[in-house]
Amino acid sequence: MYFIGVDIGGTGVQAGIVDESGNILFKKECKTNVQNGFESVMDDINDLIRSMILENSLDIKDIKSIGFGVPSFVNKKGLVTCVNLNWHEVNFIEAIKKRFPEVDVYAENDATVAAIAEYKFGSMKDKDICVMYTLGTGVGGGIIINGKAITGSHGMASEMGHTIIGENYYDCNCGSNGCLETFCSATAIINYAKKLINEGNKSIILEFVDNKIENITAKDVFDAYRKNDDVAIKTINRFKKYLAKAFGSMVNTLDPDVICIGGGVSKSSDIILDGINDLVRENILYKNEEFCEIVCATLGADAGIIGAAFLG
Ligand SMILES: [Zn+2]
């Protein structure tokens, strides 16, 4: 039996055929033509999956289930709202069932999907209480307890990117002020480094981008950190300070076995995880007790396909 996992992003759709052990046997992708509307994107996904099955000489009967990770909120009725894709309460599950009546289909928030993959086959394997933070353009969250993804009574759970952990100098896209996402995402790193540079602080980051401040990436800031650049050190230390507040609050709330970081920013996990335990300890109530391990995700970008494949 095979599974299909599909990771829907704002620019592209990645699909894969996955075996029972979580190995991706075949991958294929297409563009997300958001401007053509929801039904058209669904048609493209239909073509992508059907061609993938054909190319591998499989039959739809060989596929146990198809799962989808979506960059959005999936409510209990299967309605999906995603600002990036311009989807507002679209009936995602029904649209997929219409195209694949022969197979079981599932959809879940992409950060939860990544957490499922890391729990089944990666850095959180077989742990009872698992929490994953995906640190990318924004911050996503996934919580797995005793093998079950916690999505809440209404599908709204595990949005740790929007837990409020302090007052910030700019508002979050969601309209609130102080969301974790505005302190601990790639966007937050870029914004803060720019702010320090605009305030007149000298930095080698500008050399990396030929003085085009608008081209700064989070990677540039981490690279500058490795060269002891003052602006980069201030920016990354601030990022870690607030990440530790979030992790400390999570320990106080759930006391997990493991906290895992994934997403693009976690490529610099050596810097992020260095000394993080001491920072987290400052934010937990029972300071002398042992607390969870904090690790980096191991499946990388494949977590989206693998986790989606095992949503069933
Ligand atoms: Zn927010």
Separation CA 18–CA 88 (nearest Å) = 30
Please tell me what DSSP assigns to residue 288. T
What is the structure's pLDDT at 237? 98
Separation CA 156–CA 150 (nearest Å) = 9
What is the structure's pLDDT at 76? 83
Query: What is the percent of the chain with per-residue pLDDT over 90, rounded to a whole number?
Result: 93
What is the structure's pLDDT at 83? 81
Q: How confident is the model at residue 54 (pLDDT cuts 50, 70, 90)?
A: very high
Please tell me what DSSP assigns to residue 164. B
Q: φ and ψ at 57, to 5 degrees?
A: 50, 35
What is the structure's pLDDT at 210? 97
pLDDT, tens digit, for every residue of 189-243?
999 999 999 999 999 999 999 999 999 999 999 999 999 999 999 999 999 999 9
User: Read out DSSP for 171-189?
Assistant: B-TTS-BSBTHHHHSHHHH
From ligand 1's centre to the CA of 55, what distance in Å? Answer: 42
Instruction: Say if residue 82's pLDDT is above 90.
Output: no
3-state secondary structure at position 143: strand
Q: Are 96 and 107 in contact (CB under 8 A)?
A: yes
From ligand 1's centre to the CA of 147, what distance in Å? Answer: 28
From ligand 1's centre to the CA of 270, what distance in Å? Answer: 27
The CATH classification number of 127-296 equals 3.30.420.40
pLDDT, tens digit, for every residue of 1-32?
999 999 999 889 999 999 999 999 999 999 99
What is the structure's pLDDT at 77? 85
From ligand 1's centre to the CA of 218, what distance in Å? Answer: 20
What is the structure's pLDDT at 184? 98
Instruction: Say if residue 72's pLDDT is above 90.
Output: no
Distances (CA, A) of 284 to 124, 144, 194, 246, 278: 21, 21, 31, 10, 10
What is the structure's pLDDT at 178? 98
Q: What residues have their beta carbon closer than 5 A to ion ligand 1?
A: 162, 172, 174, 176, 179
Looking at residues 295-301, what average pLDDT do you find? 95
Instruction: Say if residue 109's pLDDT is above 90.
Output: yes
Helix axes 218-226, 186-198, angle to 10 degrees: 70
What is the structure's pLDDT at 176? 96
pTM over 0.85: yes
What is the structure's pLDDT at 264? 94
From ligand 1's centre to the CA of 137, what distance in Å? Answer: 13
Structure tokens at 302: 């494949």
User: Comparing C-alpha atoms, which of 135, 156, 154, 157 is closest to residue 145?
Assistant: 157
Q: How confident is the model at residue 101 (pLDDT cuts 50, 70, 90)?
A: very high
Q: How confident is the model at residue 33 (pLDDT cuts 50, 70, 90)?
A: very high
Bridging pattern class, strands 24-31 and 63-70 = unpaired
Separation CA 219–CA 203 (nearest Å) = 14
From ligand 1's centre to the CA of 247, what distance in Å? Answer: 17
Looking at residues 172-185, what average pLDDT do you find? 96
Instruction: Say if residue 78's pLDDT is above 90.
Output: no
What is the structure's pLDDT at 60? 94
From ligand 1's centre to the CA of 98, what distance in Å? Answer: 34
pLDDT, tens digit, for every residue of 233-291?
999 999 999 999 999 999 999 999 999 999 999 999 999 999 999 999 999 999 999 99
From ligand 1's centre to the CA of 173, what distance in Å? Answer: 6
3-state secondary structure at position 121: helix
127-296 and 2-117+302-309 share a CATH fold: yes
From ligand 1's centre to the CA of 224, what distance in Å? Answer: 28
Q: Are 159 and 150 in contact (CB under 8 A)?
A: no
Query: What is the percent of the chain with per-residue pLDDT over 70, rounded to a whole number?
Result: 100
Q: If 0-12 CB within 10 Å is exposed, 13-18 middle and 19+ buried, where does residue 101 land?
A: exposed
CATH of 2-117+302-309, one of 3.30.70.2740, 3.40.50.800, 3.30.870.10, 3.30.420.40: 3.30.420.40
Q: Where are the domains of the chain?
A: 2-117+302-309, 127-296
Report the largest interatomic distance among the alpha carbons of the chain, rounded to a whole angstrom. 63
Mean pLDDT of the chain: 96
From ligand 1's centre to the CA of 242, what distance in Å? Answer: 15
